[in-house]
C-alpha cells in the first residue's frame, strides 16, 4: 500500500531482528532456492530484495549501521494537509501581499505625521505675560540657532525665584 513503509531487511529475509549470522545465512539460502530466477514462476524483484538484505545483514558493520538507522528512524508523518505544487506560489503571493501592506501602512503613517506637523504652525495669539519675569542668563554664543533666535536651557520650576512680596510695600 502507498501509506505503508517499505519492509525492513529483516522482513525481507523473514527473520526477527535479533537473528544470528547463521540464521541469516540459512534464511537467505532457503529464500534463494524458493525465488531463484531459474525456477518457473520466480520473481526477480523478490530475489533482488533478498540479495540486498543478505548483503547488509551478513556484514557486521553494515548490519550495525542499519540497526542504528532503524532505531533512529523519524516518526511517520501524520495524515494532514497535502502539499500541492501551487502551494509554494500561493505562499510567495501571501508574503508579497503582506509586504505591500506593510509599506502602504508605513507610508500612510509618514504622511499623517507630515500633515500633523504642518497643521500645528505657531499660533499668532498673544500669550499673557508672567506675573514675574523669569531670570534670564545670556546664552553662550555657540548656543544660538541659525536664524538668530536665542536658545534658553530648560529649567525646573524649583529654580524660579518666588515673586517679590508686594503686600509689604503697599502698607
Q: Give me the percent of the chain exceeding a pLDDT of 90.
A: 22
As a whole number of Å, the CA-based R_g of the chain is 45
pLDDT of residue 127: 64
> With bands split at pLDDT 50, 70 and 90, how would you rate the model's confidence at 40?
confident
Average pLDDT for the chain? 76
pLDDT of residue 25: 93
Domain ranges for the chain: 9-71
Name the phi and psi angles at 144, rounded to 5: -90, 145
pLDDT of residue 1: 41
Q: Which residue has the higher pLDDT, 7 or 58?
A: 58
CATH class of the domain at 9-71? mainly alpha
The sign of the dihedral angle between the CA atoms of 135, 139, 145, 149 is positive
pLDDT of residue 154 exceeding 80, the answer is no
Best mean pLDDT range from 20-29, 63-72, 79-88, 133-142: 20-29
pLDDT of residue 117 exceeding 50, the answer is yes
Q: What is the mean pLDDT of residues 88-93?
A: 81
Amino acid at each position: 500500500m502507498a501509506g505503508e513503509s517499505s519492509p525492513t531487511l529483516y522482513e525481507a529475509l523473514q527473520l526477527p531482528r535479533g537473528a544470528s549470522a547463521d540464521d541469516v545465512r540459512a534464511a537467505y539460502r532457503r529464500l534463494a532456492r524458493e525465488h531463484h530466477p531459474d525456477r518457473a514462476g520466480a520473481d526477480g524483484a523478490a530475489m533482488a530484495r533478498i540479495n540486498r538484505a543478505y548483503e547488509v545483514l551478513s556484514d557486521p558493520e553494515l548490519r550495525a549501521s542499519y540497526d542504528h538507522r532503524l532505531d533512529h528512524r523519524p516518526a511517520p508523518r501524520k495524515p494532514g494537509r497535502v502539499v500541492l505544487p501551487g502551494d509554494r506560489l500561493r505562499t510567495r503571493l501571501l508574503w508579497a501581499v503582506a509586504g505591500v501592506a506593510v509599506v502602504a501602512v508605513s507610508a500612510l503613517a509618514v504622511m499623517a505625521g507630515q500633515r500633523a506637523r504642518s497643521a500645528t504652525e505657531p499660533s499668532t495669539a498673544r500669550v499673557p505675560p508672567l506675573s514675574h519675569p523669569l531670570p534670564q542668563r545670556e546664552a553662550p554664543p555657540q548656543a544660538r540657532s541659525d536664524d538668530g533666535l536665542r536658545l534658553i536651557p530648560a529649567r525646573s520650576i524649583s529654580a524660579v525665584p518666588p515673586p517679590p512680596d508686594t503686600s509689604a510695600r503697599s502698607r
